[in-house]
């Protein structure tokens, strides 16, 4: 290929077509030449080397360090309801399987299993969703009132959530539930920090 190109160039140069007998040099164009040099990244890295940080349309969103109150409310309520419903359904399924009696038909066993899992999942899901709503509301309110968006507001919100959820059962039950809620919130914050530090996400 290079021989034919040089021959053509020499013929064109000696033909007297305005070049005055000068020999022209030609170079074959390679569109992938830059990818073969040691100073360039491979092609797959150029294509798939995407940023891992989130992209925002507005600078105000990028400056926020936490979720907004509406986002926090939806997130906590949704996660609480789905988690509670899943755990309740699993617990109800186990109780439905254990309650099976010998000699029953498959239709009766399946019906008992579905009824038990649906009842337990609905009950626990509603309770966990209410806990998520109370926690998100208290956390957003404390953060807006005090300006503290760290561990203290989360732990205090956990204390208040447990106390409010069990307030109708008496002061002792409310105090115990508040302590459990505060400990759970503290462990959740500590676990989140450990995951951020040691788990590459």
Read off the pTM. 0.61
Question: Tokens representing 171?
Answer: 């002061």
CA distances to 9, 10, 11, 179, 199 from 4, rounded to whole Å, are 8, 10, 10, 87, 59
Helix (H) or strand (E) holding 45: helix 43-48
What are the residue ranges spanned by the domains of the chain?
2-13+23-44, 150-193
Reply yes or no on whether the pLDDT at 64 is more than 70: no
pLDDT digits (tens, 9 = 90+) for 102-161: 888 888 888 989 999 999 999 999 999 999 999 999 988 888 888 777 788 888 999 999
| pLDDT of 16 above 60 | no
Q: What is the pLDDT of residues 42-59, one digit of tens each?
A: 555 555 566 666 666 666
Q: Which residues contact 35 (CB under 8 A, 6 or more apart)?
A: 42, 43, 46
């Amino acid at each position: 290929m290079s021989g034919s190109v040089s021959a053509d160039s020499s013929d064109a140069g000696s033909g007297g077509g305005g070049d005055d007998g000068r020999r022209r040099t030609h170079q074959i164009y390679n569109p992938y030449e830059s990818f073969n040099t040691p100073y360039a990244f491979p092609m797959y890295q150029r294509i798939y080397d995407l940023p891992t940080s989130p992209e925002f349309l507005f600078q105000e969103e990028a400056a926020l360090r936490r979720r907004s109150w509406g986002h926090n409310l939806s997130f906590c309520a949704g996660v609480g309801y789905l988690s509670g419903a899943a755990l309740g359904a699993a617990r109800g399924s186990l109780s439905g399987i254990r309650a099976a009696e010998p000699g029953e038909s498959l239709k009766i066993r399946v019906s008992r299993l579905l009824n038990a899992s649906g009842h337990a999942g609905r009950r626990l899901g509603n309770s966990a969703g209410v806990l998520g709503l109370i926690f998100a509301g208290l956390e957003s309110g404390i953060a807006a009132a005090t300006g503290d968006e760290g561990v203290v507001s989360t732990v205090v919100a956990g204390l208040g959530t447990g106390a409010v959820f069990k307030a109708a059962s008496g002061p002792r039950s409310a105090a115990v539930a508040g302590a459990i809620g505060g400990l759970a919130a503290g462990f959740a914050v500590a676990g989140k920090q450990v995951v951020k530090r040691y788990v590459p996400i």
